[in-house]
C-alpha cells in the first residue's frame, strides 16, 4: 500500500490573482518545498508581491488554491497560520512613534494570549532577532528616526521574532548596502541549514538570488517564465522573455552560480 502524504511546503494550484477587474496572475501552479530557499524574480509590476501576499493569505485568489502542506491555506485558523508562516510586506507601515523594541515584540503576538505575561522565551526571541540583524543597539530608537536600511533591518527582526518555520519576504534587501544585503541572505541560509527554515523572498538582484537560493521562480508580464535551479532558470532566453533583457550568463568566478551580465 502506498501512503499518499501531502507534499510538505507551499504550493499554488492553478492560482489566479488580481484586483477588482485587473487580472495579475492566471492559473499559476508551483510547488515550493519545505527546507528550501526560493527567490521570486521578475520585472516591476509582474505580480511578485501579489503572489507573495496570496501565499500568506492576505489576498484571496480569484480562482485556484494556495496549499500549505497539502491543505488549503484558507482553512487554517489565523493564529495557527501566524505560527506557521511570517510575512514581511514590501512597504510595511509602523505605528507612529513606535520604538524598534516595541515593533519587534509584535512578532510574538501569535504565541501569546491576551493575558499572557511577557515570558523569557518572548524576550529571548526578540533579543536574538535584533542581534541577528545587528539592531540591538537601536532597540530604544523610534522607527521613524532610523535610516532606510536600519528600518528595513528592524522589520526583518520582527519577522524573525515570530519564530515561524516559513518566511515570506518581499524585497528584504531593499535599502540595504551590499554588506548588509549579504549578511541578511547569509543569515537566512544559516537558519535554513541549522533549523530547516523555509524562505520565499522576492529579490531584484539576480546574481545574489542565484548565490543564495535553491530554487528560483521567474515571472514575466505573461506569468511564469521558468522555475527550477538557478542554472535552469537564469538562461539568456528566459531573461529575454521575462525582462526583455539581452544578457550573457557566465559562472560566477567565486561561487560557480550563474552570473547575469547585461549586454
Ligand X SMILES: Nc1ncnc2c1ncn2[C@@H]1O[C@H](COP(=O)(O)OP(=O)(O)OP(=O)(O)O)[C@@H](O)[C@H]1O
Of 82-90, 114-122, 214-222, 240-248: span binding Mg ion (CB under 5 A)? 82-90
Binding site partner of 179, from ligand X, Mg ion, none, Cβ cut-off 5-8 A by kind? none
Of 4-12, 43-51, 138-146, 204-212: span binding Mg ion (CB under 5 A)? 43-51
**Chosen residue from 46, 56, 125, 203 binding ligand X by CB under 6 A:** 46
Of 47-55, 56-64, 138-146, 190-198: span binding Mg ion (CB under 5 A)? 47-55
Determine if 174 is a binding residue for Mg ion (CB under 5 A).
no
Q: Which is nearer to ligand X, 2 or 44 (CB)?
A: 44
Q: Which is nearer to Mg ion, 45 or 70 (CB)?
A: 45
Determine if 134 is a binding residue for Mg ion (CB under 5 A).
no
Binding site partner of 46, from Mg ion, ligand X, none, Cβ cut-off 5-8 A by kind? ligand X
143: CB partners within 8 A, 6+ apart: 94, 98, 99, 100, 103, 151, 154
Q: Measure the CA–CA gap between 106 and 243, rounded to whole angstroms.
A: 38
Of 18-26, 109-117, 184-192, 228-236: span binding ligand X (CB under 6 A)? 18-26
**Chosen residue from 6, 7, 23, 45 binding ligand X by CB under 6 A:** 45
Determine if 47 is a binding residue for ligand X (CB under 6 A).
yes
Determine if 198 is a binding residue for Mg ion (CB under 5 A).
no
Determine if 49 is a binding residue for Mg ion (CB under 5 A).
yes
**Chosen residue from 10, 15, 38, 49 binding ligand X by CB under 6 A:** 49
Determine if 244 is a binding residue for ligand X (CB under 6 A).
no
Ramachandran angles phi, psi of 89, nearest 5°: -70, 170
Amino acid at each position: 500500500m502506498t501512503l499518499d502524504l501531502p507534499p510538505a511546503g507551499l504550493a499554488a494550484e492553478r492560482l489566479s490573482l488580481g484586483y477588482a477587474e485587473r487580472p495579475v496572475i492566471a492559473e499559476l501552479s508551483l510547488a515550493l518545498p519545505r527546507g528550501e530557499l526560493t527567490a521570486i524574480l521578475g520585472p516591476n509590476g509582474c505580480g511578485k508581491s501579489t503572489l507573495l501576499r496570496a501565499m500568506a493569505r492576505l489576498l484571496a485568489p480569484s480562482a485556484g488554491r494556495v496549499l500549505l502542506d497539502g491543505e488549503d491555506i484558507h482553512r487554517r485558523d489565523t493564529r495557527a497560520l501566524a505560527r506557521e508562516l511570517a510575512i514581511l510586506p514590501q512597504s510595511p507601515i509602523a505605528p507612529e512613534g513606535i520604538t524598534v523594541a516595541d515593533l519587534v515584540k509584535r512578532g510574538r503576538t501569535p504565541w501569546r494570549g491576551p493575558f499572557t505575561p511577557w515570558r523569557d522565551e518572548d524576550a529571548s526571541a526578540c533579543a536574538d532577532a535584533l542581534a541577528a540583524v545587528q539592531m540591538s543597539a537601536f532597540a530604544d530608537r523610534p522607527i521613524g528616526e532610523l535610516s532606510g536600511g536600519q528600518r528595513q533591518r528592524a522589520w526583518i527582526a520582527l519577522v524573525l521574532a515570530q519564530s515561524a518555520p516559513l518566511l515570506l519576504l518581499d524585497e528584504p534587501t531593499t535599502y540595504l548596502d551590499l554588506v548588509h544585503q549579504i549578511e541578511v541572505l547569509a543569515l537566512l541560509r544559516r537558519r535554513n541549514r541549522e533549523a530547516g527554515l523555509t524562505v520565499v523572498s522576492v529579490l531584484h538582484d539576480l546574481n545574489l538570488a542565484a548565490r543564495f537560493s535553491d530554487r528560483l521562480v521567474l515571472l514575466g508580464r505573461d506569468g511564469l517564465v521558468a522555475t527550477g535551479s538557478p542554472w535552469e532558470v537564469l538562461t539568456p532566453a528566459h531573461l529575454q522573455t521575462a525582462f526583455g533583457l539581452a544578457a550573457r550568463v557566465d559562472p560566477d568566478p567565486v561561487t560557480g552560480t550563474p552570473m547575469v551580465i547585461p549586454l
